[in-house]
Structure 1
Amino acid sequence: MIVLFSVLGTALGGALGALSRWKLDLAVKTRWVGKRALAGKPLRPYVGIVVVNTVGCFLLGFLTGILPLLAVLVAGGSTVDYPGVTGTMRFVLSTGFLGGFTTFSTAVLDAWTEVWARRVRAGMSLIVVGWVSGLVSYLLGLGLTALVSYLLGIG
């Protein structure tokens, strides 16, 4: 039964993640990118995807750190082994929702589009900014769970 829930939950999570990505990308493009601060900038159309992937990396870092804490607090598990329910939640949320939410392939396509248009610096900037912001936000999410663990006296 847990396998069936994992499959259906992952599919539903992926669909909800993709819809959330579209909504956040649209919100960033209409509310922030349209402002004068980014007007005329060559990377303007890509800001939404960078924001989406950065938020997704933060959430993945937070999820990576918080689920073992939930295993300790709720299910009485250890910080190394995920009990069945927590493992299923991890699979559904990380592979499903965040897999649908983040979009590495779109980021690569955006970078290649810039390189193909002979704007190599802009394309390389997209790659560097995407990777660095993703890594930093993942570590911030993980760090937030370390803070939560410390405040709760766990770990």
Structure 2
Amino acid sequence: MSVPVFLLGCLGGGIGACLRYLGDGLVMRRATPGFPSGIFLVNALGSFLLGLLVGSFEAGLVDGTWLFVLGGGVLGGFTTFSTAMVDTVRLLHQEAWGRAAANAVGMLVVGVVLALLGLTLGRGL
């Protein structure tokens, strides 16, 4: 991998992190308090988009450089497993057992289903 491509990936990661912050904030301003809806939706969207990107790569529609820059960079910075897990632990500390389970299990199930949908659509484009 060339240095310029690596630096584009780094820049993409920063852009993705900024988009995550903005997306989470927009959702949380409108969401019911008590559930981390913003990060949940950001991760769900990121799972779908990464699946779509990887499927498009497998179909020969996206080049490996763009897969790295957009997938590893932008979408890698956009999604966050660690924040989702910290949100789950916070809910556990609040003894919000149902919301904690919904966040942890829901994130996994929704993420896998949307990644599969994106991958399938990307392969078929």
SS of the equivalent of 1:133 reads: helix
Code of the residue aligned with 1:118 in structure 2: it is: E
Aligned to 2:4: 5
> For residues 90-105 of structure 1, what are the structure 2 equivalents within 5 Å?
90-105=67-82
- 1 CA distance for matches of 2:39 and 2:93? 19
Query: Number of paired residues?
Result: 125
How big is each residue's C-alpha offset from its partner over 1:63-122, in whole Å with a ceiling of 9 and x where there is no partner?
110023335xx8xxxxxxxxxxx2222111111111100011000000000111222222
Code of the residue aligned with 1:24 in structure 2: it is: G
How big is each residue's C-alpha offset from its partner over 1:29-87, in whole Å with a ceiling of 9 and x where there is no partner?
22x31xxxx3xx632xx00000000000001100110023335xx8xxxxxxxxxxx22
- 2 CA distance for matches of 1:96 and 1:52? 15
Aligned to 1:23: 22
Aligned to 2:49: 59
Runs of 4 or more, structure 1, over 2 Å off, are 68-71
Aligned to 2:38: 48
The answer to which structure, 1 or 2, has the higher relative contact order (CA under 8 A, 6+ apart) is: 2
- 1 CA distance for matches of 2:92 and 2:20? 24
Code of the residue aligned with 2:104 in structure 1: it is: I
> For residues 1-150 of structure 1, what are the structure 2 equivalents within 5 Å?
2-30=1-29, 32-33=30-31, 38=32, 42-43=34-35, 46-70=36-60, 86-148=63-125
| Structure 1: segments with no counterpart, 5+ residues | 75-85, 149-155
- 2 CA distance for matches of 1:119 and 1:6? 44
- 2 CA distance for matches of 1:102 and 1:144? 20
SS of the equivalent of 1:118 reads: coil
- 1 CA distance for matches of 2:122 and 2:9? 23
| Structure 2: segments with no counterpart, 5+ residues | none
SS of the equivalent of 1:134 reads: helix
Deviation at 1:146, TM superposition (A): 3.2
